[in-house]
Amino acid sequence: MAATLLLDGLLSVVHITDEGLSILEPLEVTRTHVVVKVLHLSSFGLIIDTLKRLLKWRIKGKILLFLRPPGREEQILDVFLLQNNVLEEEVVKHRCAVNIPISSDCELNIDHSYSVHCEPEGFFIQPESKTFDSRFGPNYYPTFLVSLTTSTERLVLKVKDQGGHVVWYCRVSLEDTRHELSQRNVPAESRVPAESRVPAESRVPAESRVPAESRVPAESRVPADQRLRSVRTELIQRVTLTVLNDLLDKLFESEVITESEMTSARAKPQHERAREVVDAVRRKGAAASRVLINALRELDPYLCRNLNLS
């Protein structure tokens, strides 16, 4: 490589004196040194090194996490280091895993090496380090793979640069993501109550399909729009993107929201999308709110139980 640079004239030395600047031809180039002839002491530098430093720049980046379905003893966490202008939807459509909502913004240097670290320690991470480059799309592959145990509920992830400095830090909870994965793996016919699969004209009103032992006495029953309002903030924060998109479909099919309302909601980020859906339905009254609650029971019974919407 050194000989090639010398023969091709790609390596020069700047000679700086009180009289000005001149370019010297190297007499010899090795892997570690450049030999030049100067008549007296001076300050000089390698042009190629200066150019390399100029070509390395810091950009706005993002880090995305995806949890794969569990195996017998382990579960893989995919870690993506990406440029900030890569759309999350472009990465999601190539994955069979579930995206974990996190604070993803960071700063990354092109052509710098990065590594991932976990707390607690002991998880296998591969590769040990990876150089971040400026290429992206059309397919996206994980930068790092973290092998977790299936019993891991939470962990701390850190990304460090080649100097050992932490450039990104996040506490990650896996409980909700595992629940979403388990819901995906349940056959559709097992998730939808049998009575919902009969022809529409034969269906019994939703409130009549609740088992008698689960029904709230009439005197203590709260209107659905008020129940929705009481859990509004927590519902917006906890509903997953997958459930939220399915919920939009069900509300549109039930004619609770219009096509323009559905399109407007889908154009917003996850939490803003959830806020718009909940508030739009709640403002339409108890009947519309009841449809949302019943649809949420089907899509995410675990969340409904936690919010006392069962």
Q: Is the pLDDT of residue 145 over 80?
A: yes
Contact 137, 93 (CB under 8 A): no
Picking from 152, 126, 128, the residue whose alpha carbon sits closest to that of residue 141 is: 126
Q: Has residue 187 been placed in a domain? A: no
Q: Omega of the bond prior to 69 within 30 degrees of 0, cis?
A: no
Do residues 67 and 168 both lie within one domain? yes
Cβ burial of 90 (10 Å; 0-12, 13-18, 19+) is: middle
92: left (phi over 0), alpha (psi -120 to 50) or beta: alpha
Q: Do 72 and 166 belong to one domain?
A: yes
| Beta-bridge partners for 125 | 146
* Whether residue 159 sits in one domain with residue 86: yes
Nearest CA to 120 among 155, 145, 151? 155
**Mean pLDDT: which of 123-127, 186-190, 215-219 is highest?**
123-127
Whether residue 217 lies inside any domain: the answer is: no
Q: What is the pLDDT of residues 217-235, one digit of tens each?
A: 443 468 888 889 899 988 9
Question: Domain check: are 160 and 70 in the same one?
Answer: yes
> Each residue of 96-120: b (16+ CB within 10 Å) or e?
ebbbbbbebebebbeebebbbbbee
Q: What is the pLDDT of residue 195?
A: 46
**Is 197 contained in some domain?**
no
Residue 84's domain is classified under what CATH number?
A: 2.60.40.2660
* Beta carbons within 10 angstroms of residue 240's beta carbon: 22
Tell me the mean pLDDT in the region 276-293: 91
pLDDT of residue 199: 53
Do 92 and 143 lie in one domain? The reply is yes
The answer to whether residues 69 and 20 belong to one domain is no
Nearest to 271 by CA among 235, 304, 246: 235
Confidence of residue 308 (pLDDT cuts 50, 70, 90): confident
In CATH, what number is assigned to the domain containing residue 228? 1.10.533.10
Is the residue at 38 inside a domain? yes
Average pLDDT over residues 97-113: 90
Please report whether residue 199 resides in a domain.
no
Of 18-32, 160-174, 285-299, the one with minimum mean pLDDT is 18-32
Highest-pLDDT range among 3-7, 12-16, 17-21, 262-266: 262-266
Are 181 and 174 in contact by the 8 Å Cβ rule? The answer is no
- Mean of the pLDDT values across residues 300-308? 85
Which structure tokens are listed for 197?
A: 């699969």
Question: Average pLDDT over the chain, rounded to whole?
Answer: 78
C-alpha distance from residue 232 to each of 176, 267, 285 (Å): 18, 21, 14
Q: Give the domain range for residue 265.
A: 222-310
* DSSP code at position 21: E
Domain finish residue from 55, 76, 100? 55
- Identify the CA nearest to 102 among candidates 62, 71, 141, 69: 62
Average pLDDT of the residues in 201-224 = 53
Q: Give the chain's end-to-end CA distance (angstroms, integer).
A: 70
CA-nearest of 108, 56, 102 to 82 is 108
Q: Answer whether residue 180 is part of any domain.
A: no
Answer yes or no: is 94 within a domain: yes
Verify that 14 and 68 share a domain, yes or no. Answer: no
Is 212 part of any domain?
no
Per-residue pLDDT for 143 more than 70? yes
Please report the pLDDT score of residue 56 as a whole number: 57
Using CB atoms within 10 Å of the CB of residue 40, give its burial: 0 to 12 exposed, 13 to 18 middle, 19+ buried. Answer: exposed
Both 27 and 85 in one domain: the answer is no
- Scan for tokens 């932490």, then name that residue: 166
Q: Residue 34: its pLDDT value, please?
A: 79
Lowest-confidence pick of 18-32, 117-131, 267-281, 287-301? 18-32
Angle between helices 270-283 and 241-253 (to 10 degrees): 30
Same domain, 62 and 147: yes
**Mean pLDDT across 104-116:** 92
Predicted local distance difference test score (pLDDT) of residue 11: 66
- The candidate with the shortest Cα–Cα distance to 270, out of 307, 240, 292, is 240
Alpha helices in 103-171 (DSSP H): none
Residue 209 or residue 182, greater confidence: 182
81 and 150, same structural domain?
yes
Chain segment 30-82, per-residue pLDDT in tens: 777 778 777 665 444 555 555 545 555 678 899 999 998 888 778 899 999 99
- Domain total of the chain: 3
> Which ranges constitute the DSSP H helices of 211-285?
224-230, 232-238, 241-253, 259-266, 270-283
More confident residue, 216 or 70: 70
Same domain, 255 and 276: yes
pLDDT of residue 8: 53
Q: Does residue 14 sit in the same domain as residue 78?
A: no
